[in-house]
Amino acid sequence: MPSVPPDIRTVAVTRYVTPLREGGSLPAIAEADDGFLYVLKFRGAGQGIKSLIAELIGGEVARALGLKVPEIVFAVVDEAFGRTEPDEEIQDLLKASVGRNLGLHYLSGSITYDPAVSKVDPLLASKVVWLDALLTNVDRTCRNTNMLMWNRELWLIDHGASLYFHHSWDNWKEQSQKPFTPIKDHVLLPLATELATVQEQFPDILTPTVIRNIVSLVPDEWLALSAGEAVAEHREIYAQFLINRVAHAPIFVEEAQHARSRII
């Protein structure tokens, strides 16, 4: 399995190409100073900085488990960047997003995963279901699969709706040990026949050290925006939540197996 990257590259946004209006937070395709295109997630969007934190942690957890995720970068928007943007809504978004945002490498020519068109191996399906139950990702359904087919391979995108415990910090320990009932709506659940096999493998990969390395990638400034002065405390809670969640993985695996038995 690939190791967690020691850091995340930083690029400067040089050109706003086009909005992706199907996203609730108005993501966009943008070009950076390295010449590549990225799907840009803005810190000033309505879903706020917590969606970027979830996107970063969720994406890098998936990568650590060997799943395919576009490269994640920090994308810096300059103060002068939005001045020539004619669309007032987009201009306001860019002004509110000055500083470090998050970008995912744009997979040119990719298509949205459609379960009626593309076939996914049961083991791979089980890995994705396990991941999303771990992350409490509510947004991988038939209505919005948040997966792409690119070069005949399945790629995972958009983990911003994961880790929803961080919208209410009070009972995070309890939430870390709960089953994940929304897994019943997961688009790949009908194919996930190998959850027991995945459960034998994944906890050994997601060690506390790996989890802490991933959480350490979150910029202090992002945590400060969501946690005020409690940056170190909230960083530790993210790590402990995931460590606890892995330790109690049989609970959410059993819930996923029961949910699958009810739909097949």
Domain contains 191: yes
pLDDT of residue 2: 46
State whether 127 and 83 are in the same domain.
no
State whether 87 and 196 are in the same domain.
no
**198, 130 in Cβ contact below 8 A?**
yes
Q: Give per-residue pLDDT as tens, 132-161.
A: 999 999 999 999 999 999 999 999 999 999
**249, 134 in Cβ contact below 8 A?**
yes
Q: What is the full per-residue pLDDT of the chain (264 aa) written as tens digits?
A: 444 455 899 999 999 998 886 655 689 999 999 999 999 999 998 878 999 999 999 999 999 999 999 999 999 999 887 676 777 888 888 889 999 999 999 999 999 999 999 999 999 999 999 999 999 999 999 999 999 999 999 999 999 999 999 988 889 999 999 999 999 999 999 999 999 999 999 999 999 999 999 999 999 999 998 777 789 999 999 999 999 999 999 999 999 999 999 997
Domain end, chosen from 105, 137, 172, is at: 105
Domain contains 93: yes
Q: Into how many domains does the chain fold?
A: 2
Domain contains 202: yes
State whether 101 and 117 are in the same domain.
no
CA gap 179, 192 in Å, rounded:
17
Residue the block writes with tokens 């987009």: 90
State whether 70 and 183 are in the same domain.
no
Q: Which domain holds residue 94?
A: 10-105
State whether 123 and 83 are in the same domain.
no
CA gap 71, 134 in Å, rounded:
21
State whether 119 and 170 are in the same domain.
yes
State whether 118 and 98 are in the same domain.
no
Domain contains 124: yes
Q: Give per-residue pLDDT as tens, 194-221.
A: 999 999 999 999 999 999 999 999 999 9
**248, 199 in Cβ contact below 8 A?**
no
Cα Rg, the chain, nearest whole Å? 18
Instruction: Convert 37-52 to b/e letters by CB count within 10 Å (16 or more is b).
Output: bbbbbbbbbebbbbbb
Q: Please state, as a whole number, how many other Cβ atoms lie within 10 Å of the Cβ of residue 7.
A: 9
State whether 204 and 258 are in the same domain.
yes
pLDDT of residue 6: 56
State whether 171 and 74 are in the same domain.
no
pLDDT of residue 187: 98
pLDDT of residue 48: 86
Residues forming beta bridges with residue 77, ordered by sequence position: 99
pLDDT of residue 200: 98
Domain contains 152: no
Q: Give per-residue pLDDT as tens, 218-242.
A: 999 999 987 777 899 999 999 999 9
State whether 95 and 127 are in the same domain.
no
The answer to whether the pTM exceeds 0.85 is yes
79 membership: H or E segment, kind and range:
none
Q: Please state, as a whole number, how many other Cβ atoms lie within 10 Å of the Cβ of residue 12.
A: 13
Domain contains 153: no
State whether 72 and 142 are in the same domain.
no
CA gap 43, 32 in Å, rounded:
17
State whether 127 and 226 are in the same domain.
yes
First to last CA, the chain: 32
Domain contains 158: no
Domain contains 157: no
pLDDT of residue 170: 80
